[in-house]
């Protein structure tokens, strides 16, 4: 565990796999059952002997009884020790230690290539100073290929795997020339046995080369799959983290916008009514001793202002706490909204709603809020007598138009229009277009176009 903490290896599983392969390589070096080194075998023993001529003697009886002297096989040579054991151990351990620090964050591939070549060099030195075994080279080359899969993309991985396989083939087929039978051959039957064993050795060599190729392909695909899965998990974790951050930002922004809206509501409605009520109460106090009728009139106006303020507070609280549609269709919800608006504010609304298809919940809620905010602004600021509301739909999109005959205003001078900004943001969230046209004395017109 401490090794992994001090290293920059991206995968703990691959790091443990590398160290396991290096441990197997060390066991291969010290394996007492490994075959002897072929360098001790005399070269003339591995070539078919020349055909022997039969010797004749004058005495035919002796010739019939003549038997060639029995020749016993030589004792197989002892296993050759590694040429330089410390060099072999140094190469294997160095190959393992350099795996703790991989050049992962290098943009240039030159350092990564030098790192990979160093791995090939250490593997070759370990085999040269050791027993020249193909097994040892194959194990060390697997370690180099695993690290190449971590460092390079797929093209680099395939190239390094091809170089490793080529190195393995060169060593294996060079060793075939030195493989033989450490026995003296003299008869034709022994020659046949020699040729059969050579054929078996060739088949085993070809099978080992083919098996190592399959192992390389499996390792490259396995490591690539593991790294892809790990990268996908990291990207998913980063995406989730960004989503959480965005959710917090959106929540904070929504809270801020809602606070601004509530502050504007209190300032425009409740604050205005309370200010007017305070003025009426001061007037009533001023006329209380001299003119009772005027004082009573001012008191009556102050009571009406208090009722209006209370109604505004209740309406704001109801808007915040209740769902705008309550599982109703937008036609039904708009009919109730328009009816309440006409009864409360005594402003007539000419409505024309022509919807073909059912709208999504987000579209319905945002349209309802836009219409609700527009009617609220008309009541508070426009001094209008009539309002025209058109909501239609065709194959291209959804269209909304709200127009009044009020006093109008200059949109360029409206710096505190939180309601208008909220309508724009709702329409923009749906991918639509929001347009506002107004002039002093000519009313106001709002047009919304939403895509299908």
Buried-exposed string 87-126: b where 16+ CB fall within 10 A, e elsewhere = ebbebbeebbeebeebbeeeeeeeebbebbeebbebbbbb
Judge contact between 20 and 99, C-beta under 8 A.
no
The whole-model pTM stands at 0.49
The residue behind tokens 């329409």 is 427
Q: What is the CA radius of gyration of the chain?
A: 47
The residue behind tokens 């009139």 is 297
Q: In what order do the strands lie in the sheet with 386-393?
A: 348-354, 386-393, 397-404, 444-451, 433-438
At residue 11, the 3 state secondary structure works out as: coil
pLDDT in tens, the chain (452 residues): 454 455 677 788 888 899 999 999 888 887 655 554 444 444 444 444 555 554 444 554 444 544 554 444 444 444 455 667 888 899 999 998 998 888 887 677 788 889 999 999 999 999 888 765 778 888 999 999 999 998 889 899 999 999 999 999 888 877 665 444 444 444 556 556 656 666 666 777 778 888 899 999 999 999 988 888 888 888 998 998 888 888 888 878 878 877 776 776 676 667 667 777 788 888 888 888 888 888 888 888 888 878 878 877 777 776 666 666 766 788 888 998 888 888 877 889 999 999 888 888 888 888 988 898 888 888 878 888 899 999 999 888 999 999 999 998 888 776 555 678 878 888 988 889 999 998 888 899 999 999 97
């Amino acid at each position: 565990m401490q090794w992994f903490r001090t290293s920059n290896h991206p995968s703990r599983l691959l790091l443990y796999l590398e160290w396991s392969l290096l441990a197997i390589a060390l066991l291969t070096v010290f394996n007492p059952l490994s075959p002897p080194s072929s360098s001790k075998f005399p070269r003339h023993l591995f070539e078919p002997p020349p055909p022997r001529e039969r010797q004749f003697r004058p005495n035919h009886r002796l010739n019939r009884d003549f038997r060639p002297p029995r020749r016993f096989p030589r004792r197989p040579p002892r296993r050759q020790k590694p040429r330089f054991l410390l060099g072999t151990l140094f190469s294997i351990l160095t190959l393992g230690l350099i795996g703790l620090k991989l050049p992962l964050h290098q943009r240039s591939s030159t350092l990564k290539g030098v790192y990979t070549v160093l791995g090939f060099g250490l593997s070759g030195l370990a085999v040269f100073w050791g027993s020249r075994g193909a097994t040892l080279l194959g194990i060390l080359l697997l370690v180099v290929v695993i690290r190449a899969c971590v460092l390079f993309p797929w093209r680099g991985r395939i190239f390094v795997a091809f170089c490793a396989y080529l190195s393995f083939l060169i060593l294996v087929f060079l060793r075939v020339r030195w493989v033989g039978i450490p026995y003296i051959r003299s008869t034709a039957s022994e020659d046949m046995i020699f040729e059969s064993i050579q054929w078996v050795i060739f088949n085993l060599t070809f099978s080992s080369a083919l098996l190592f190729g399959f192992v390389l392909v499996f390792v490259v695909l396995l490591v690539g799959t593991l790294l892809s899965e790990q990268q996908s998990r990291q990207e998913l974790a980063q995406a989730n983290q960004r989503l959480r951050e965005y959710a917090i930002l959106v929540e904070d922004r929504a809270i801020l916008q809602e606070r601004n809206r509530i502050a504007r509501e209190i300032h425009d409605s409740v604050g205005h009514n309370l200010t007017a009520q305070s003025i009426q109460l001061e007037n009533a106090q001023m006329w209380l001793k001299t003119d009772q009728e005027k004082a009573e009139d001012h008191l009556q106006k102050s009571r009406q202002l208090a009722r209006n303020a209370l109604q505004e507070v209740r309406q704001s609280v109801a808007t915040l706490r209740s769902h705008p549609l309550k599982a109703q269709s937008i036609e039904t919800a708009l009919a109730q909204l328009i009816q309440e608006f006409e009864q409360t504010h005594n402003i007539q609304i000419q409505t024309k709603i022509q919807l073909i298809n059912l709208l999504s919940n987000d579209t319905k809620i945002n349209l309802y809020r836009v219409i609700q905010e527009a009617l609220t602004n008309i009541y508070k600021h426009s001094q209008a007598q009539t309002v025209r509301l058109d909501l239609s739909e065709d194959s291209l999109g959804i269209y909304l138009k709200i127009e009044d005959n009020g006093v109008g205003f200059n949109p360029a001078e409206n710096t505190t229009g939180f309601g208008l900004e909220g309508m724009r943001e709702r329409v923009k969230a749906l991918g639509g277009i929001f347009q506002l046209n107004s002039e002093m004395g000519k009313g106001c017109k709002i047009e919304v176009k939403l895509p299908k």
